[in-house]
Amino acid sequence: MLDAKRIHSLPKIPPPVLTAYLDTNPANSRNQGHPPGYIIWLKSRAKVLGIRLQPAERKQWQEQIARVEDFLRNERPQARGAAIFAGPKTWEVLPLQVEVEDELHWGRPSLTQLLWLLDEHQPCGVVSVDRGGARFHRFWLGEVEEQRKERFEIDITEWRKKHFGAPAHPKLHKTRGALRDVFEQRVEAQFARFYRESAERIHRWAESEKLDPVFLAGPNEVVEPVWAELPRAFQLRAALVKGDFAHLSAAGLQERIAPEVARWKRAHELEIVTRMLANPNGTRAVAGLDSTLLRLQEGMARELVVTRRLGGRLRQCANCGWTDRSADRECAACGGPRRVVPLRAAIPELARRYGVPVEVVAGEAGRRLREHGGIGAWLR
């Protein structure tokens, strides 16, 4: 499982550094040859970019390209993708179990694609329950981690054992049946307590880990009573998956649940975009690049909604950071010089500067939002 602290330390890497994002998926046909396609792409792209560097930088560039190539040849990554940061005093390799696009950069560490991946793949939780207990799993960036396991055991040590033995007198056979009913009632009472306590633990765990959504998986007779104990507001960000999951490993559970996660996410994204586009007057939400950038930088946005692979270019002030589509070379706010920046790089940086979460949408939700500029914002 990737370490969030490690990811957050990447902006502190001193330049110059080579940043390489590579599609290393072994299932991709281009990567099944010798050498694999990602090495061929790396060498080809490195030649093009190396020509643009000054002679003093070119030697460092070539050294880091050689380091990355040696690593790829010797290690043959098995993850779907990799993000590599290589410099004179730096070597960081992040295996990624999600789709990655090939990119190569030199200078400051390039975090744009990683930031998009973090926004697109928010951590979610899966709790598998049955009458034996509960297992708590965290899914993030295509990886799964079992964080805790709780067993449920019925404690009958304080129950009167004579209730469940043979009757002391033949005439007590009816009483024995009544006592058996008492026993079963006590068992069900303990299960009811287990369901209630499990719901409380699931809620606390999801809040502490910032998991969204949470999937409750298990047989119908267990998941429904646990679900009923969850707060209504929490249920709106959760889902039920009914079935027998007790025998599955963490990886097996991930494989079974992944389609449910994808379906939930697409439906949730479509609901968000539909509601956003139904409020076009700018009081609750805005859509479109210019309006969204303005409200974001005015501090009025509380959440961004962005289509996957949003493209284009913006101009950004080198002094105050104000960003828009104006062609002016001087900033209207402070008079500073403005530079051209890729929209794809500017959006995640602006979102983090203003402390605004980003929801990345795809599928039908992405198609609808693209018709309105590919970006929108919910307002405070």
pLDDT (average), residues 219-232 = 95
Confidence at residue 158, expressed as pLDDT on a 0 to 100 scale: 60
Question: Of 228, 247, 266, which residue is a domain's last?
Answer: 247
CA distances from 42 to 30, 37, 80, 102, 201 (A): 13, 9, 16, 8, 47
Confidence at residue 56, expressed as pLDDT on a 0 to 100 scale: 86
Identity (one letter) of the amino acid at 87? Answer: G
Which CATH number does the domain housing residue 340 bear? Answer: 3.30.1330.30
Which CATH number does the domain housing residue 178 bear? Answer: 3.30.420.60
Residue 87 has pLDDT above 90, yes or no: yes
Specify if 116 maps to a domain. no
pLDDT (average), residues 3-14 = 87
**Per-residue pLDDT band at 99 (split at 50, 70, 90):** very high
Residue 217 has pLDDT above 50, yes or no: yes
Read off the pLDDT of residues 305-355 as tens digits, 9 standing for 90 and up: 999 888 899 999 999 999 999 999 999 989 999 999 999 999 999 999 999
**Per-residue pLDDT band at 283 (split at 50, 70, 90):** confident
pTM above 0.85, yes or no: no
The domain of 353 spans: 275-379
pLDDT over 70 for what percent of the chain? 93
Same domain assignment for residues 129 and 232: yes
Same domain assignment for residues 101 and 70: yes
CA distances from 152 to 71, 107, 132, 191, 245 (A): 47, 55, 5, 8, 16
Same domain assignment for residues 200 and 148: yes
Specify if 82 maps to a domain. yes
**Per-residue pLDDT band at 172 (split at 50, 70, 90):** very low
Number of domains in the chain: 3
